[in-house]
Amino acid sequence: MHRCLKTLFSGLLLTAVLFCGCSGASSGDASDTTGSSGSPSEQTSGSVSSETDNIAGTVSDGSVSAKGQWDNAPKVLTPTADGSVILGNDSVAIDVSNLTEGYIMVRYLGSASKIKFFVVTPDDIRYTYDLPPSDSWMALPLTGGDGTYTLDVREHVEADLYSNLYKETLDVTLNDEFRPFLYPNQYTWFTEDSAAVAQAAVLAENASDGLDVITSVYNYVIGNVTYDDDKARTVQSGYLPDVDETLSTGKGICFDYAALMTAMLRSQGIPTKLEIGYSGEVYHAWISTYIDEIGWVDNVIQFDGKSWSLIDPTLAASNDPEAVRDYIGDGTNYIVKYSR
């Protein structure tokens, strides 16, 4: 059951903003020993500001007047179950053929309503994934870098009870540390045919560099997607975004905003983390991106000519830029628990 947490902040130059974070035991929560799951969401009052073009370190309007040097052709990586190395048993199959690419492929063929698939990273952070019975493979990322991962699979019995189904350890050495943040996965799924991928290519057409692409995508999302209050109130445990649905309806919760931006930027070859954690007391989702000249852009990073703030499309879409900058402050309002 979701529980709404509200944080009210205001100041001399700060527009009052009310968040409602629907939180329970969140999907991916390291303290989730019973296997209950939730989805990050929150409720933000207000309307889209016309001054959002300078939030999160953007250039003045997110575009350049003439076609730039950026290659805007989609660069969609496709996770596959090659079948060369399969682990598991009669109920669960785990394809580990592409560990060096930063993902595994899994599917559950048993009779329980669902399973909990725990991925414990080398730094002992436990990610939780819900898997329903299906013949289809699902991609799960290995976001903890090189090292030993533990796969712990548990089958639903009744209520909050789960039985042990399978457990294994994997030694992982990535070909590239950024690969887990370029592939689609269960939380942010897209293909070459996704409308979000096509829209990202349009937005990147006149870009000179990665910063221009991020700026254009960011401004597009916060200017064209409005916050869905009804969805925030009724979202169910285990919810996963559909980036093309968010794009077509122009509505979503924080998870949808972040997933859409993640899909768009990854499809342009820009490593992007979908961050899940807490904004104050509210369970929330936002993104961080990587730019060659700068590195990972997260929390608050300042550099000559541009001042970055945490890239939080939901907050920016619903509030005055000054309010956003004041709330983000030095980044301590944001606590990352998981990067997917």
Q: Does residue 315 carry a pLDDT above 90?
A: no
Q: Does residue 76 carry a pLDDT above 50?
A: yes
326 or 89, greater pLDDT: 89
Per-residue model confidence (pLDDT) at position 298:
59
Per-residue model confidence (pLDDT) at position 280:
54
| Structure token digits, residue 164 | 């042990």
Beta-carbon-side half-sphere exposure of residue 137 (alpha carbons within 13 Å): 18
pLDDT tens-place string over residues 16-72: 222 233 333 334 443 343 333 333 333 333 322 322 333 333 333 333 334 579 999
Query: What's the whole-number mean pLDDT along residues 126-139?
Result: 92
With bands split at pLDDT 50, 70 and 90, how would you rate the model's confidence at 334? low
Q: Of 30-34, 151-155, 321-325, which gets the smallest average pLDDT?
A: 30-34
Residues ≥6 apart with Cβ < 8 Å to 278:
284, 334, 335, 337
Contact yes or no for 308/297 (Cβ under 8 A)? yes
The span from the CA of 93 to the CA of 242, in Å, is: 25
Q: Does residue 14 carry a pLDDT above 80?
A: no
Per-residue model confidence (pLDDT) at position 306:
39
Contact yes or no for 98/82 (Cβ under 8 A)? yes
Q: Does residue 248 carry a pLDDT above 80?
A: yes
Query: Judging by beta carbons within 10 Å of its beta carbon (0-12, 13-18, 19+), is residue 248 exposed, middle or buried?
Result: exposed
Q: Which helix (H) or strand (E) holds 167?
A: strand 161-172
| Structure token digits, residue 171 | 């030694």
Q: Of 5-14, 128-137, 260-269, which gets the smallest average pLDDT?
A: 5-14
| Structure token digits, residue 230 | 């009804």
64 or 98, greater pLDDT: 98
57 dihedral zone (left: phi>0; alpha: psi -120 to 50; beta): left
Which single residue is written with the structure tokens 């399973």? 115
pLDDT tens-place string over residues 200-215: 999 999 999 888 898 8
- Look over the chain and give the mean of its residue pLDDT values, rounded to a whole number: 74
Contact yes or no for 284/254 (Cβ under 8 A)? yes
The span from the CA of 92 to the CA of 8, in Å, is: 45
Q: Does residue 232 carry a pLDDT above 50?
A: yes
What percentage of the chain exceeds 90 in pLDDT? 46
Cβ atoms < 10 Å from Cβ of 28: 24
User: Any bridge partners for residue 95, and if so which?
Assistant: 86, 105
Per-residue model confidence (pLDDT) at position 253:
83
